[in-house]
Amino acid sequence: MPVEGIPGIVLIGMPGAGKSTIGGLLAARRGMPLVDTDHLIELREGESLQSILDQRGYLALRAIEEQVLLANDFTGQIVATGGSAVYSAAAMAHLKRFGLCVFLDIPLDEITMRVQNLESRGIAGPPGLGLAQVYAERLPLYRRYADMIIDGAGLDESGLLAELETALTSV
């Protein structure tokens, strides 16, 4: 069941934080649809995030992401955002209209272990920027937009999901 009084849940966090995976598990448990905004971008553009980055650059990808987020109604859905959604204040304000914004806070060392395909992952950042720099740049933005922060340090998928569900019961 959807959480009473919360029309939806918006998951934010770094690539590799588990937004899509945890979002899918949470959606299945609550009988809510999941939307992965990276997939919405790829559907609209007809190409992968990495292809967009390679052909048009990271600023173009961020602009497309903002357009896609602003153009969609996310009522009653679990939303797994792309890691760069937080670069757009307008998109984040729009997303927050549809539900609680939850930051899946995974430490950099764990993100580094999870994200081994940095060059092909479609991470919208300046060329040559390493994962540590992207993390440092985004962390304050994730915290700024979060209504709730889930500390995922050392947790596997089931542990992270349990922490999220426990936190949601107290809202």
In a domain, 1, yes or no: no
Structural domain includes residue 3:
no
CA angle 70, 72, 77 (to 5 degrees): 120
The response to whether 152 counts as a known ligand-binding position is: no
Specify if 4 maps to a domain: no
Residue 48 and residue 42 in contact, taking contact as beta carbons nearer than 8 Å: yes
Asked if residue 147 belongs to a domain, the reply is yes
- Confirm whether residue 121 is marked as ligand binding: yes
CB 12 within 8 A of CB 19: yes
In whole angstroms, give the CA distance from residue 135 to residue 167.
Answer: 24
Q: Which H/E stretch holds residue 30?
A: helix 19-30
Number of domains in the chain: 1
pLDDT at 117: 61
Q: Is residue 96 a known part of a binding site? A: no
Position 6 scores a pLDDT of 54
d(CA 157, CA 138): 22
CATH number at residue 47: 3.40.50.300
Is residue 125 a part of any domain in this protein?
yes
In a domain, 46, yes or no: yes
| Rounded (5°) CA angle 146-70-67 | 115
Half-sphere exposure of 10 (CA within 13 A, CB side): 27
2 domain-assigned:
no
Q: Is there a domain that residue 91 lies in?
A: yes
83 is in an annotated binding site: yes
Range of the domain at 97: 9-169
CA 151 to chain centre: 15
138 in a known ligand binding site: yes
16 is in an annotated binding site: yes
Q: Does 20 carry a binding-site annotation?
A: yes
pLDDT, residue 11, reads 98
48 assigned binding-site residue: no
Per-residue tens of pLDDT for the chain, all 171 residues: 344 555 799 999 998 899 999 999 999 999 999 999 999 999 999 999 889 988 999 899 999 999 999 999 999 999 999 989 999 999 999 999 999 999 999 999 999 888 766 555 557 677 777 888 989 999 999 999 999 999 999 999 999 999 999 999 987
62 annotated ligand binder: yes
d(CA 69, CA 79): 10
